[in-house]
Amino acid sequence: MNGMAIGLVFTFANIVSGSIWARPIWNTWWTWDPRLVTASIMELIYIAYLLLRQGVEDPARRARFGAVYGIVGFISVPLTFLSIRIFRTIHPVVIGSGDPLATGSFNRVPEMCVAFFFSLFTFTFIYATFLWHRLRLHRLAEKVEHMKMKVVSE
Partner 1 sequence: MFLQETTANTFNYMILGFGVILGVIVFYLISLVARFRKLNQDLELLNEIEVDGRK
Phi, psi values for residue 69, rounded to 5°: -65, -40
Shortest gap between Cβ of 9 and partner 1 (angstroms)? Answer: 5
Which residues in the 19-48 window bind partner 1 by CB under 8 A?
Answer: 20-21, 23-25
Q: Which is nearer to partner 1, 72 or 147 (CB)?
A: 147
Question: DSSP H helical segments within the chain, as ranges?
Answer: 2-26, 34-55, 59-73, 76-86, 110-153
Of the residues 3, 13, 68, 72, which one makes contact with partner 1 according to CB under 8 A? 13
* Per rule CB under 8 A, count of chain residues that contact partner 1: 26
Q: Which is nearer to partner 1, 44 or 126 (CB)?
A: 126
Q: Which is nearer to partner 1, 25 or 113 (CB)?
A: 25
Contact partners, residue 116, CB within 8 Å, separation at least 6 = 94, 108
Of the residues 48, 113, 126, 135, which one makes contact with partner 1 according to CB under 8 A? 126
- Conformation bin of residue 8: beta by default, left when phi > 0, alpha when psi is -120 to 50: alpha
9: contact with partner 1 by CB under 8 A: yes
150: contact with partner 1 by CB under 8 A: yes
Amino acid at 119: S
Shortest gap between Cβ of 120 and partner 1 (angstroms)? Answer: 14
**CA distance to 84, 93, 126, per residue, from 99 (Å):** 11, 8, 30
Q: In this structure, is the dihedral angle defined by the CA atoms of residues 67, 68, 73 and 79, taken in order, positive or negative?
A: positive
Q: Which is nearer to partner 1, 99 or 142 (CB)?
A: 142
Shortest gap between Cβ of 13 and partner 1 (angstroms)? Answer: 4
Shortest gap between Cβ of 139 and partner 1 (angstroms)? Answer: 10
